Amino acid sequence: MIKLIEARYQGDFQVALSFSDGKEGIFDGRSLLQRTGPLLEPLRDEAYFRRLFIDAGALCWPNGLELSPARLHDTCRILSLA
């Protein structure tokens, strides 16, 4: 099972991600914000978006939004693969 082991906010809704298999990539949060929903609304504020954290290997925010590490692994722009 793939887990997220590091997430670093890069600015402009971009997050650098490191996964348990050595893959590194960039998640473009702007693609997420093209959708609508009550959990996504707070993330439109960049100050809130940057409050991201990792919980149990998933990318999370304080309002309860959680993004699957497997989905992020498949969709992020690859930087490197160990």
The pTM is what?
0.91
Tell me, what CATH number does 24's domain have? 3.30.2020.10
Domain that holds residue 72: 4-80
Q: Which of 49, 71, 75 is nearest to 60 (CA)?
A: 49
Q: What's the pLDDT score for residue 81?
A: 57
Q: What's the pLDDT score for residue 79?
A: 74
Per-residue pLDDT tens for 21-79?
Answer: 999 999 999 999 999 999 999 999 999 999 999 999 999 999 999 999 999 999 898 77
Tell me how many domains the chain contains.
1
Q: What's the pLDDT score for residue 11?
A: 96
